[in-house]
Structure 1
Amino acid sequence: MDAKPDHCFEREVLVRFAHCDPAGIVFFPQYLVLFNGLVEDWFNDGLGIGYAHFVGERRCGLPIVKLDCEFKAPSRMGERLMLSLSVSRVGNSSITLQLRASAGGELRVLSTQVLVTTSLDSNKAIAIPEDLRRLL
C-alpha cells in the first residue's frame, strides 16, 4: 500500500500556520482538509468536471463512507507537501481513492477513502453518473 501508483493526480501545497497545532506539526484532521481540496482539484483540473457544478447544479454529493489513514511522519509549517490521488476501485456508486502526502520523497500520510455518489435531494446513494464513470 506504500508504493505510489503509476497514474495519479498530483498537487503541491504549502503547509501553513493554520494547518499546525501548538507542537508545530500538521494537526492530523488538517490532512483530511488538504485531501478534500485535492479531490476538488482532481474534479476541476484532472477530470474536467467542475466540482461546484457537480455538487451545486447537478446536486450530486461525494461523502466519505470509509476512511483509513496511516500517519508515517510529521509535517511542519513551511514545508511543501506533494499530494497525490489515484483511483483503486470503481463500484456501482462507490469510488475508492488512494491519497498520499509526501515531502522530499518521504511519505508522511497514506489514506484510503471510499466515496459514494449520492443525490443531495434524497440523501441516498446513486449510480456513478456516466460522464464521471467514463473518466475514472
Structure 2
Amino acid sequence: MATKYSFKVRWGDTDPAAIVFFPNFYRWMDEATHEFLTELGLPTSELIEKEKIGAPLLESNCKFKTPLVFDDEAFVITEVAEIHNKVFKLSHTFYRGETFIAEGFTLRAWTSFNGKPKAITIPQEIREKLKAHQKADLVAQTN
C-alpha cells in the first residue's frame, strides 16, 4: 500500500527559468516521509517528543525524467522499498497527473535520542506497519 503526498510548485521552488530547482525534490521526499509516518500512526513530532525516537536520513537519491515548473500540481507516491534490522528504505515516485516526473529514495535509521543518538532495532510492531506499505513487487519477491 502506498501513500500520496500532494503539493503545488511555488515560485520560490524554481530557478530563473521557472523550472524546479533540484534540491526541492529532496525536500518533498522528506516531507512525504513525515506524512507517510503520520499515516502509519507514527507522527515524527510525537516520536521525538514522547519516545525520543527518530528516523534520521542516512542516504538519498533522485533521478529526474521530466521537469516540474511554476504552478504545477504534483504528488509523490511513497512506499517501503526495504526493511532491515535498524534501517528502512522508502521509494518516492513523483507525478504531475499521469506524467512520471522523477523517482528517488531515502534511507533512514530507526534511532534512539536518549543520550547520544544511536540506531536501534526497529520494533516488531513498527516493522509490521512498514511491511503493510511495502511495494507489491518487492513483497512478491520475498515470499
Using the size of structure 1 for normalisation, the TM-score is: 0.87
Q: Kindly report structure 1 stretches of 4+ aligned residues shifted beyond 3 Å.
A: none
Partner of 1:11: 5
- Identity rate, percent: 24
Distance 1:52 1:63 in 2: 13
The aligned amino acid for 1:80 is E
The answer on 1:85 being equivalent to 2:78 is yes
Alignment length (residue pairs): 129
Distance 2:85 2:41 in 1: 21
Distance 1:57 1:65 in 2: 23
Distance 2:16 2:126 in 1: 41
Alignment of 1:26-65 (within 5 A): 26-44=20-38, 46-65=39-58
The answer on 1:69 being equivalent to 2:83 is no
Distance 2:60 2:36 in 1: 19
Structure with the largest fraction of helix: 2
Q: Identify unmatched segments of 5+ residues in structure 1.
A: 1-6
Q: Give the superposition deviation at 1:131.
A: 3.2
Partner of 1:112: 105
The aligned amino acid for 2:129 is L
Q: Identify unmatched segments of 5+ residues in structure 2.
A: 131-143
Partner of 1:94: 87
Q: Secondary structure of 2:76's match?
A: strand
Using the size of structure 2 for normalisation, the TM-score is: 0.83
Q: Give the superposition deviation at 1:27.
A: 0.9
